């Protein structure tokens, strides 16, 4: 071979080398950029996988979510692996925390095609990376109205076994034979047959069943004359425990409560019967009158229930969790926790301005203990400050804590309160209260319950009665409860993934 031929071969080899170096530089820059883009995509894929971290979803569902996200970003995915605390692989120390967190680790590989390196037979490069995502957990306070009205739909017939005694048995009562509504809880509680309360509990247990305990936590609060914390957040981490606490709730029984020191002082009884001795003895029922103190017989203490939620979330809520409350009630606030009002009222009772003890001339006008006018708001130093004002203060405190409150108004009586006509008094007082709470605690502004005006103005215009809005729902009967509770569960999940 001549000298010129050797030079041509050497030049060709040098050219290939130079092209390889140029390809390495150019493709290297592209791969460096691709590696940076892959890490961003993996961060998103980890969040997409974490968004599926809920009850009923498998590791395969999480892996598919991560893979779909990476492919949507234009990557040729070759493999994906996800790890959680239930299947941590070698990452248990990273994923299994105390308290539990919804952590998902995503490892993935992708294939990136080359451009210039193809000249030397290098068609693609495999890249890999990892990222960890976390879905927000939920700290939920479930507040259930267990006032005596939650037994009013129970079909019970009144029977009088001995003079002055009464019992109520299951049956098909007529208006003349039906057991009086305040007397029903005493006879349906032992068999867990109080309606609608039994269906309320069943729907609430299904809601809890959609939560992902122990990553989510559930507290249980009921309210009647007083509010009661049946389970706090720290202990509400086991599904069986939470559902058993809900199942064990009973309707407030005025025939044995309140304690003797807090009963009416005129010899009457709130239920028209006294069962404290074991047998149920008929008594004169409490009837409102100018000097008849109604406080022992009030049983919709929404104020203390909301205060209990505020206490639980403020002292036990996790800073990185979604704080939520689900509140079900069939009426307006008409009782509070015991208060000191400068000696004007005894501390054993809650707030109840004497001006609202009785609405003449009809003793059956309601509510007692408050002015029945939602639009009239009073400061705490006003003599007209009533249970509704105090409950509104508690709701606004929850709003300042960024708590999301879902409210459910139950029963047609929510729109049919027997108020004294005139004076701005509202037959739908309870619904307005529940709608306001839902609106101010991060409800959807585009679906607010208030259409126009100010909440506390007589010119306020609201959505039609019974229409769902914001995070407020109305259940005219128990058949609607399951659907509403499941809708709330879905909304909670949606909020976790915004």
Of 111-115, 284-288, 446-450, which range is least confident? 111-115
For residue 274, list its beta bridge partners: 281
**CA dihedral over 192, 194, 197, 199, signed as positive or negative:** positive
Give the start-end residues of each E strand in 136-191.
Answer: 138-145, 156-159, 167-170
Residue-wise pLDDT tens digits, 304-338: 999 999 999 999 999 989 999 999 999 999 999 98
How remote is the C-alpha of 14 from its chain's centroid?
72
* Band of pLDDT at residue 389, cut at 50, 70 and 90: very high
Which residue in 29, 131, 115 sits closest to 70, CA to CA? 131
Question: Over the Cα atoms of the chain, what is R_g?
Answer: 32
Please give the Cα distance from 472 to 410 (Å, whole number).
Answer: 11
Check pLDDT > 50 for residue 290: yes
Check pLDDT > 50 for residue 58: yes
Of 7-21, 195-209, 296-310, 466-480, which range is least confident? 7-21
Q: If residue 40 lies in a helix (H) or strand (E), which one and from where to where?
A: helix 3-50
How many other C-beta atoms are found inside a 10 Å radius of the C-beta of residue 176?
6
Check pLDDT > 80 for residue 21: no
Check pLDDT > 60 for residue 179: yes
Please give the Cα distance from 212 to 208 (Å, whole number).
Answer: 8
Most confident of 219-223, 279-283, 336-340, 476-480: 219-223
Which residue in 373, 389, 380, 367 sits closest to 295, CA to CA? 367
Please give the Cα distance from 345 to 304 (Å, whole number).
Answer: 18
Which residue in 397, 295, 282 sits closest to 345, CA to CA? 295
Please give the Cα distance from 391 to 329 (Å, whole number).
Answer: 13
| % residues pLDDT > 90 (the chain) | 54
CB of 488 closer than 8 Å to CB of 142:
no
Please give the Cα distance from 52 to 135 (Å, whole number).
Answer: 8
Residues 6+ apart with CB under 8 A from 187: 156, 167, 168, 169, 179
Q: If residue 309 lies in a helix (H) or strand (E), which one and from where to where?
A: helix 302-316
Beta strands at 450-452 and 404-410: parallel, antiparallel or unpaired = unpaired
Number of helices (H), then strands (E), belonging to the chain: the values are 10, 15
Lookup result for tokens 């029945």? 372
Please give the Cα distance from 8 to 158 (Å, whole number).
Answer: 115
Cis peptide before 196 (omega within 30 of 0): yes
């Amino acid at each position: 071979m001549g000298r010129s031929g050797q030079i041509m071969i050497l030049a060709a080899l040098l050219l290939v080398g130079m092209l390889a170096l140029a390809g390495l530089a150019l493709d290297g820059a592209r791969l460096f950029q691709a590696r940076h883009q892959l890490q961003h995509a993996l961060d998103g894929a980890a969040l997409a996988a974490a968004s599926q971290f809920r009850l009923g979803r498998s590791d395969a569902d999480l892996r598919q979510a991560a893979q779909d996200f990476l492919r949507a970003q234009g990557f040729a995915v070759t493999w994906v692996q996800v790890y959680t605390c239930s299947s941590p692989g070698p990452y248990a120390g990273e994923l299994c925390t105390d308290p539990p967190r919804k952590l998902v680790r995503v490892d993935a590989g992708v294939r990136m095609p080359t451009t210039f390196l193809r000249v030397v037979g290098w068609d693609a490069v495999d890249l890999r990376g990892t990222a960890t995502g976390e879905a927000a957990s939920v700290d939920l306070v479930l507040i259930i109205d267990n006032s005596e009205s939650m037994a009013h739909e129970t079909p019970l017939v009144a029977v009088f076994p001995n003079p002055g005694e009464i019992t109520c048995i299951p049956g098909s009562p007529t208006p003349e034979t039906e057991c009086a509504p305040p007397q029903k809880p005493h006879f349906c509680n032992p068999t867990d047959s109080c309606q609608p309360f039994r269906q309320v509990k069943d729907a609430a247990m299904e809601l809890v069943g959609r939560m992902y305990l122990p990553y989510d936590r559930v507290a249980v609060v009921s309210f009647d004359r007083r509010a009661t914390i049946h389970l706090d957040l720290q202990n509400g981490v086991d599904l069986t425990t939470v559902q058993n606490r809900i199942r064990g709730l009973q309707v407030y029984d005025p025939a044995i409560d309140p304690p003797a020191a807090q009963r009416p002082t005129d010899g009457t009884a709130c239920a028209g019967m006294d069962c404290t001795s074991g047998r149920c003895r008929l008594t004169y029922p409490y009837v409102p009158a100018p000097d008849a103190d109604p406080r022992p017989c009030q049983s919709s203490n929404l104020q203390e229930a909301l205060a209990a939620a505020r206490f639980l979330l403020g002292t036990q809520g996790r800073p990185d969790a979604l704080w939520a409350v689900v509140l079900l009630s069939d009426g307006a606030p008409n009782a509070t926790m015991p208060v000191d009002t400068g000696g004007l009222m005894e501390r054993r009772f809650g707030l109840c301005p004497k001006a609202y003890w009785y609405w003449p001339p009809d003793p059956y006008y309601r509510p007692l203990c408050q002015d029945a006018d939602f639009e009239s708001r009073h400061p705490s130093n006003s003599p007209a400050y009533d249970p509704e004002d105090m409950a509104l203060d508690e709701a606004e405190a929850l709003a300042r804590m960024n708590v999301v409150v879902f409210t459910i108004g139950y029963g047609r009586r929510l729109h049919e309160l027997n108020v004294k006509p005139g004076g701005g008094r509202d037959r739908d007082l309870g619904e307005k209260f529940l709608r306001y709470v839902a609106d101010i605690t991060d409800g959807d502004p585009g679906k607010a319950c208030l259409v126009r005006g100010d909440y506390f103005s007589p010119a306020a215009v609201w959505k039609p009665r019974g229409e769902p809005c914001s995070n407020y729902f109305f259940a005219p009967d128990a058949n609607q409860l399951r659907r509403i509770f499941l809708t709330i569960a879905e909304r909670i999940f949606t909020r976790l993934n915004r």
